């Protein structure tokens, strides 16, 4: 396996905020950055020296793009595996088409996890309204999720009673649906595993995550759970990454149930929103680690420098007048940093940026970002 050295070109399939932050890390190390994205104004475009505007299923564009890159990685798992396979002819793509194929379809991903003995919430696949109803009769309170195209809680409908069935069934009009039993949660964790093309493996300290309405609101690290739970979470995620044969990053989202057992919620083969604080809290950020992993460079130490936290800045915060939120008020909070992704249009629910802080404890870091966040809300 050849090492890809600084001066070489890293290509990103997908140019969202994750690629933007990884591209910044790559640029800091002296790599060139190329990006392929359907949107010419995507967040990573500002960091790239070459931007290809193409759909993720444009095989010819992926092929031409790969010819300009020394190694390719992903910002999003919705890139067509045909594009990944075509690109792989010209440059290594990490993670490759095989794990992406499994992960990019929620139903296939859950089936794979179950077949490989990993704990997941009970689920059924539904193609039509009557199958959603049958699944609900078996599972009870549940949540319907489209198998593809959903993120940040989109393409999902909760089924608490028979009255929710029409909305959940409507999801089958556009996609196959996974109906998943609703789990009473004691909390949510995520684990980030990095595996390099040389076989080296490192995990980051575990993150504790708080969602509002199915969207991540804030995350803090290290997760305030027992050593046993932390070790079990890391062992679970490492085993999944190894069995999928991931090169690059794999984030594993986990549910902690009321009786303190772990269930896998979902997988993400790329940097993850819950690890943005690694830029400040760890010796190596998730973004630099992605670069190192896909280039076959030694993985960086993931040791904690201090506890850290982030809070997401969704488009809802932007005044409808088109003005900016009151950043100066948030930045009054000592040690809080502002990260914006350069998205030109703010829409409700859209991830526009985040605030980060470090502190002596995860709770102190979280309280600092939440304090700064509260200052952005209408007074
Ligand atoms: P994201 O892109 O933000 O990770 P997503 O759209 O892929 O989200 P999920 O991760 O499946 O969606 O669900 C989002 C959140 O909704 C979970 O983190 C959890 O808080 C809640 N949730 C999802 N499924 C369940 C469930 N079966 N039981 C309880 N809560 C759930
Ligand atoms: Mg999720």
**80: CATH:** 3.40.50.20
Q: Which two tokens stand for residue 171?
A: 């999801």
Q: Tell me, what's the pLDDT at 149?
A: 76
CATH number of the CATH domain containing 169: 3.30.1490.20
Does residue 258 have its Cβ closer than 6 Å to ligand 1?
no
Cα(first)–Cα(last) distance of the chain, in Å?
Answer: 56
CATH number reported for the structural domain that contains residue 279 in this entry: 3.30.470.20
Phi-psi region of 27 (alpha: psi -120 to 50; beta: other; left: phi over 0): alpha
* Ligand 1 center to 246 CA (angstroms): 23
pLDDT tens digits for range 207-217: 999 999 889 99
Q: How far is CA 309 from its chain centroid?
A: 16
Helix count (H) and strand count (E) of the chain?
A: 12, 17
Q: Are residues 306 and 252 in the same domain?
A: yes
What is the model's pLDDT at position 1?
A: 65
Cα 272 to middle of ligand 2, angstroms: 10
Asked whether residue 231 falls in the same domain as residue 190, the answer is yes
Residues 118-132 have a mean pLDDT of 97
Is the C-beta atom of 188 inside 6 A of ligand 1? yes
| Cβ atoms of residues 240 and 318 within 8 Å | no
Claim to verify: residue 207 and residue 254 sit in the same structural domain? yes
Q: What is the mean pLDDT of the chain?
A: 96
| Closest ligand 1 atom to Cα of 209 | 18
The protein residue with its alpha carbon nearest to ligand 1, atom 22, reads: 214
pLDDT digits 0-9 by tens, 231-285: 999 999 999 999 999 999 999 999 999 999 999 999 999 999 999 999 999 999 9
Interatomic CA distance for residues 279 and 260, integer angstroms: 29
* Cα–Cα distance for residue pair 109/127, rounded to 1 Å: 17
Nearest ligand 1 atom to the CA of 155 is: 6
Structure tokens, 298: 């030694």
Whether 166 and 235 map to the same domain: the answer is no
| CA nearest ligand 1 atom 21, residue | 214
Does residue 3 belong to any structural domain of this protein? no
- Ligand 1 atom at minimal distance to the Cα of residue 215: 3
Residue 355 beta carbon below 6 angstroms from any ligand 1 atom: no
DSSP class per residue in 249-312: EEEEEEEEETTS-EEEEEEESS--GGGTTHHHHBSS-HHHHHHHHHHTPPPPP--BSSEEEEEE
Taking the C-alpha atoms of residue 357 and residue 334, their distance in angstroms, rounded to an integer, is 9
193 and 164 inside one domain? no
pLDDT for residue 154: 77
Distance CA 143, CA 159 (A): 6
Tell whether 260 and 342 lie within a shared domain: yes
Residue 264: predicted pLDDT: 98
pLDDT value at 153 more than 80:
no
- Please tell me the predicted confidence (pLDDT) of residue 148: 87
Using one digit for the tens of pLDDT, what is the confidence trace for 47-84? Answer: 999 999 999 999 999 999 999 999 999 999 999 999 99
Report which protein residue has its CA nearest ligand 1's atom 14: 214
Q: For 138-165, what is the mean pLDDT? A: 90
Regarding the beta carbon of 305 and ligand 1, being less than 6 Å apart is answered no
Q: Please determine, for residue 24, whether its predicted confidence score (pLDDT) is greater than 90.
A: yes
Quote the domain boundaries for residue 126.
Answer: 122-181
Domain presence at residue 365? yes
Ligand 1 contact via 211 beta carbon (within 6 Å): yes
CA of 353 to the centre of ligand 2 (A): 18
Hey, whose CA ends up nearest to atom 23 of ligand 1? 214
Residue 101 lies in a domain: no
User: pLDDT digits over 316-353, tens only?
Assistant: 999 988 899 999 999 999 999 999 999 999 999 999 99
Same domain, 189 and 227: yes
Are residues 237 and 370 located together in one domain of the fold? yes
Pocket test for ligand 1, best of 77, 142, 214, 268 (most atoms within 8 A of CB): 214
**Which ligand is closest in space to the CA of residue 156?**
1
Please tell me if the CB atom of residue 314 comes closer than 6 angstroms to any atom of ligand 1: no
Record the pTM: 0.97
What's the confidence (pLDDT) of residue 102?
98
Per-residue pLDDT at 322: 82
Q: Quote the number of domains for the chain.
A: 3
> Ligand 1 centroid vs 275 CA: distance in angstroms?
17
Decide if pLDDT at 28 tops 90: yes
Mean pLDDT of 127-155: 91
Q: Based on the domain organization, do 347 and 361 belong to the same domain?
A: yes
Mutate to test the pocket of ligand 1, among 153, 252, 349 (most ligand atoms within 8 A of CB): 153
DSSP 103-160: HTSHHHHHHHHHHTT-----EEEESSHHHHHHHHHHH-SEEEEESSS--TTTTEEEES
Ligand nearest to the CA of 18: 1
Proximal ligand: closest to the CA of 77: 1
Residue 327 lies in a domain: yes
Specify which residues 190 forms β-bridges with: 207, 253
Average pLDDT over residues 192-219: 96
């Amino acid at each position: 396996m050849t090492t890809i050295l600084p001066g070489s070109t890293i290509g990103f399939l997908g140019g969202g905020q994750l690629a933007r932050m990884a591209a910044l890390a790559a640029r800091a190390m002296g790599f060139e950055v190329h990006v392929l994205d359907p949107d010419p104004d995507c967040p990573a475009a500002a960091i790239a020296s070459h931007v290809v505007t193409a759909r993720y299923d444009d095989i010819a564009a992926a092929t031409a793009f790969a010819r300009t890159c020394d190694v390719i990685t992903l910002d999003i798992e919705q890139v067509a595996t045909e594009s990944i396979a075509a690109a792989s002819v010209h440059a290594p793509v990490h993670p490759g088409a095989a794990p992406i194929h499994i992960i990019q379809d929620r139903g296939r991903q859950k089936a794979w996890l179950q077949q490989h003995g990993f704990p997941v919430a009970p689920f059924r696949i539904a193609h039509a309204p009557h199958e959603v109803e049958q699944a609900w009769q078996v599972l009870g309170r549940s949540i319907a999720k489209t198998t593809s195209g959903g993120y940040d809680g989109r393409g999902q409908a909760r089924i608490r009673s028979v009255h929710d069935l029409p909305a959940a069934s409507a999801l089958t009009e556009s996609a196959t649906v996974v109906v998943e039993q609703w789990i009473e949660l004691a909390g949510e964790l995520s684990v980030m595993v990095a595996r390099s093309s040389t076989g080296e493996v490192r995990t980051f300290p575990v993150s504790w995550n708080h969602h509002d309405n199915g969207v991540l609101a804030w995350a803090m690290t290290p997760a305030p759970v027992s050593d046993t739970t932390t070790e079990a979470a890391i062992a679970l995620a490492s085993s999944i990454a190894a069995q999928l044969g991931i090169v690059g990053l794999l984030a594993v989202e986990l549910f902690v149930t009321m009786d303190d057992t772990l269930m896998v919620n979902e997988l993400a083969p790329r940097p993850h929103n819950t690890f943005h604080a690694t830029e400040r809290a760890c010796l190596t950020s998730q973004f630099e680690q992605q670069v190192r992993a896909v280039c076959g460079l030694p993985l960086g130490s993931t040791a904690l420098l201090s506890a850290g936290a982030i809070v997401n800045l969704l488009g809802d915060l932007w005044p409808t007048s088109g003005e900016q939120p009151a950043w100066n008020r948030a930045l009054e909070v000592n040690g809080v940093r502002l990260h914006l992704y350069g998205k030109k249009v703010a829409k409700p629910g859209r991830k526009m940026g985040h605030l980060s802080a470090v502190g002596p404890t995860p709770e102190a870091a979280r309280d600092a970002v939440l304090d700064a966040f509260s200052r952005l809300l209408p007074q």
